[in-house]
């Protein structure tokens, strides 16, 4: 079930990076950083993302509340990188931006292997939780 094309589309790449293990993501970013030249950091900050939701009764979109995020945006010679993660870990967002920038120049085998491994781990984590959730499925009988 973990078979994937070697090339990850941009949305999947970003989804996986945002949920990847922080220590491993940071380590990967450090190894990739020398490939970027003249890095200019446009943003490295925390801020708010407003989260709307759709009411299931009348279909009205409303604001549920704000989520604190960490954002990083960088520009290097010939590319840009962007990271945004729920929480306040600026280092995690910057690491995501570095990998995004390098990947925009071409997804190396190293990046693809990282994405495949992290994606598999995220899927395994979600599956394990949903197996626990499934154990609570109930079939009520009425008398």
Partner 1 sequence: MAYVATRGGARAIDQSERLYRAELGQIDATRVTTLRQSLPNLIDRVMGEASLYEPDLAALALAQTGGDLYEAVLLLRAWRTTQPRLAIAAPVLQEDLITHRRISAAFKDIPGGQILGPTLDYAHRLLATDVLQGRPYTPTPVEPAATPAPAHQPSLAAWQKAQGLVADPLREDVAPDAIPDLTREPLLFPAKRAHTLQSLARADTGGMLALGYAAMRGYGNAHPTVNELRLAEAEVRVTHPSGTVFSAGRVKVSQAEVTSKGKSGQLNLGFCATLGWNEVKVISGATLDLNAAAAPKGSPVEEEFFLYHTEPVEASGFCIHFKLPHYVTFQSALDALRGAKTAEVPA
The residue ranges that bind partner 1 (CB under 8 A) are 10-11, 14-15, 18-19, 45-69, 71, 73, 80, 82, 84-88, 100, 126-140, 142
Residue number with CB closer to partner 1 (34 or 140): 140
Query: SS3 for 40?
Result: strand
Of 102, 97, 111, 36, residue with least CA distance to 69: 97
CB of 20 to partner 1, least distance (A): 11
Taking the complex as a whole, the smallest distance from the CB of residue 88 to partner 1 amounts, in Å, to 7
Burial 82-106 (b: 16+ CB within 10 A, else e): bbbbeeebbebbbbbbbbbbbbbee
The CB-of-95 to partner 1 minimum distance in angstroms stands at: 14
Beta bridge partners of 56: none
Shortest distance, position 100 Cβ to partner 1, whole Å = 8
Name which of 37 and 142 has its Cβ closer to partner 1.
142
| Minimum CB distance to partner 1 smaller for 27 or for 53 | 53
How far, in Å, are 6, 79, 115 from residue 132 at the CA level? 31, 43, 26
């Amino acid at each position: 079930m973990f078979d994937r094309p070697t090339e990850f589309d941009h949305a999947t790449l970003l989804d996986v990076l945002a949920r990847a293990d922080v220590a491993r993501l940071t380590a990967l970013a450090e190894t990739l950083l020398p490939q970027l030249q003249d890095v200019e950091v446009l943003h490295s900050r925390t801020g708010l993302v407003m989260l709307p939701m759709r009411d299931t009764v009348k279909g009205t979109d409303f604001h549920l509340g704000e989520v604190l995020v960490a954002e990083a945006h960088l520009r290097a010679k010939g590319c840009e990188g962007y990271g945004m993660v729920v929480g306040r870990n600026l280092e995690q967002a910057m690491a995501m931006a570095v990998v995004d920038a390098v990947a925009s120049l071409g997804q190396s085998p190293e990046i693809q292997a990282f994405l495949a491994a992290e994606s598999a781990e995220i899927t395994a984590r979600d599956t394990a939780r949903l197996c626990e959730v499934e154990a609570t499925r109930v079939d009520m009988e009425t008398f």
